[in-house]
Amino acid sequence: MSFRIDPRSPLTGEVRRILADEIGKAIGHLETAREKPEQGLHKCRKRLKSVRALLRLVRSGDEPFCQTENECYKQVSALLAGPREATALIEAVDRLAAEHSAGSGLDPVRERLVLRQHELHAGPGLDAAINAAIAACREGLERIDRLALPDQPEHAADILADGARATLRRAKKALDKAQSRGEDEDFHDLRKAAKTHSMHLSLLGRLWPTPIKARRKAVDKLGEELGELHDVFVMRALLDAEGEPLGPADDTKLLRKLLKRSEKSLTKACLADAADLFGESPKRSAKKLARKARDDLAGPQEEASAA
């Protein structure tokens, strides 16, 4: 089913429908993860991010429900973070090797990352995490009917605009910090806000003021860049960790060099692209959305009255 709010239907029903669909798919991916953890975990976490983005979008309409459920799926995602990150780091090393024509220079590091991945995927901890995640998601499915949002067009429009504005505000704040401080956590916060905004664009595809297609493409590009930068930060932290988890200095010398080069270029690109996307006032963007949403949401009701 569509990951998009239909303005012809009441908001409560639409949000319940999308939540049920996304959580159901997350459970399916968790079952797949028992045999194929590399694929299943990644797809499940993407669905959980979609669920949390939707809850953030409509939070002002039913704050107790949305806050509680968001925290629930945050914890579920955290259960799966380690095993998924192990795979992401292997992908990051492969990307670095391809981009910089590193040949076999990163093979010793990659071998250690593969071993680390196997240990995380083969142990009993992963199966326990999957079982706990499935149980939590099934309980969440049973709670969906508790959600109650205002369905009047004007109120519904304000709720959607409030949620979109809150995420734009988070992105602007993270961007300002990344520009002034440049800490790892600032770029991580910017990445989370960009990902949430991308999902809001999907959810509001029929309501967001045009042009939306170009913005969605730019946001997804920024998300990919910030994801690659996040992998660089994680890898760098592992290099500096006690016990040399990625190997002795001789084996990691090239990796350090490539990470430094990649971090510099990605930081520059991320800041430039984020400034283009989130430089406008969040308040102004949300007002545009609210105006269009009111018109679009009121349309079906006016047509029904005329009939």
**Percent of the chain clearing pLDDT 70 (strictly above):** 97
- Residue ending a domain, among 150, 167, 184, is 150
Contact by Cβ (8 Å): 26, 44: yes
Question: What are the residues whose beta carbons fall under 8 Å from the beta carbon of 213, sequence distance 6 or more?
Answer: none
- The verdict on 192 and 78 lying in the same domain is no
Query: Residue 301 — very low, low, confident or very high, per pLDDT cuts 50/70/90?
Result: low
In this prediction, residues 36-61 reach a mean pLDDT of 96
Task: Answer yes or no: is 306 within a domain.
Answer: no
Burial 43-75 (b: 16+ CB within 10 A, else e): bbbebbbbbbbbbbbbbbbbeebbeebbebbee
**Between 20 and 205, residue with greater pLDDT:** 20
- The verdict on 129 and 217 lying in the same domain is no
Task: Answer yes or no: is 134 within a domain.
Answer: yes
Task: Answer yes or no: is 3 within a domain.
Answer: no
In this prediction, residues 267-292 reach a mean pLDDT of 85
- Residue ending a domain, among 108, 130, 150, is 150
pLDDT surpasses 90 at 243: no
- The verdict on 146 and 156 lying in the same domain is no
Domain count within the chain: 2
Q: How far apart are CA 148 and CA 58, in angstroms?
A: 10
In this prediction, residues 53-64 reach a mean pLDDT of 98
For 133, the domain range is: 8-150
Contact by Cβ (8 Å): 207, 5: yes
pLDDT at 302: 52
- The verdict on 121 and 180 lying in the same domain is no
In this prediction, residues 194-205 reach a mean pLDDT of 95
pLDDT surpasses 50 at 97: yes
pLDDT surpasses 70 at 19: yes
Task: Answer yes or no: is 303 within a domain.
Answer: no
pLDDT surpasses 60 at 303: no
Per-residue pLDDT reduced to its tens digit, 206-223: 888 777 888 999 999 999
Closest C-alpha among 261, 204, 233 to residue 18? 204
Per-residue pLDDT reduced to its tens digit, 26-44: 999 999 999 999 899 999 9
- The verdict on 15 and 115 lying in the same domain is yes
Task: Answer yes or no: is 1 within a domain.
Answer: no
- The verdict on 176 and 125 lying in the same domain is no
- The verdict on 57 and 91 lying in the same domain is yes
Contact by Cβ (8 Å): 286, 165: yes
In this prediction, residues 134-153 reach a mean pLDDT of 96
Task: Answer yes or no: is 243 within a domain.
Answer: yes
- The verdict on 158 and 146 lying in the same domain is no
- Terminal-residue alpha carbon distance, the chain: 29
Q: What is the mean pLDDT of the chain?
A: 91
CATH for 142: 1.20.120
Q: How far apart are CA 143 and CA 66, in angstroms?
A: 11
pLDDT at 307: 46
Closest C-alpha among 168, 166, 268 to residue 215? 168
pLDDT at 48: 98
Query: Does the reported pTM lie above 0.85?
Result: yes
Task: Answer yes or no: is 292 within a domain.
Answer: yes
pLDDT surpasses 70 at 130: yes
pLDDT surpasses 80 at 51: yes
- The verdict on 141 and 245 lying in the same domain is no
- The verdict on 251 and 137 lying in the same domain is no
Task: Answer yes or no: is 307 within a domain.
Answer: no
Contact by Cβ (8 Å): 199, 53: yes
In this prediction, residues 281-290 reach a mean pLDDT of 74
Q: How open is the CA angle 271-272-274, to the nearest 5 degrees?
A: 65
pLDDT at 292: 78
Residue-wise DSSP of 54-113: HHHHTGGGSHHHHHHHHHHHHHHHHHHHHHHHHHHHHHHHHHHHHHTT-TTTTHHHHHHH
Query: Residue 306 — very low, low, confident or very high, per pLDDT cuts 50/70/90?
Result: very low
Contact by Cβ (8 Å): 229, 263: yes
- The verdict on 175 and 111 lying in the same domain is no
Query: Residue 252 — very low, low, confident or very high, per pLDDT cuts 50/70/90?
Result: very high
pLDDT surpasses 80 at 108: yes
Per-residue pLDDT reduced to its tens digit, 67-77: 999 999 999 99
- The verdict on 85 and 210 lying in the same domain is no
In this prediction, residues 252-265 reach a mean pLDDT of 95
In this prediction, residues 284-295 reach a mean pLDDT of 75
In order of 188, 194, 231, 243, 272, the CA distances from 175 in angstroms are 10, 10, 19, 34, 10
- Residue ending a domain, among 117, 132, 150, is 150
Query: Residue 5 — very low, low, confident or very high, per pLDDT cuts 50/70/90?
Result: very high
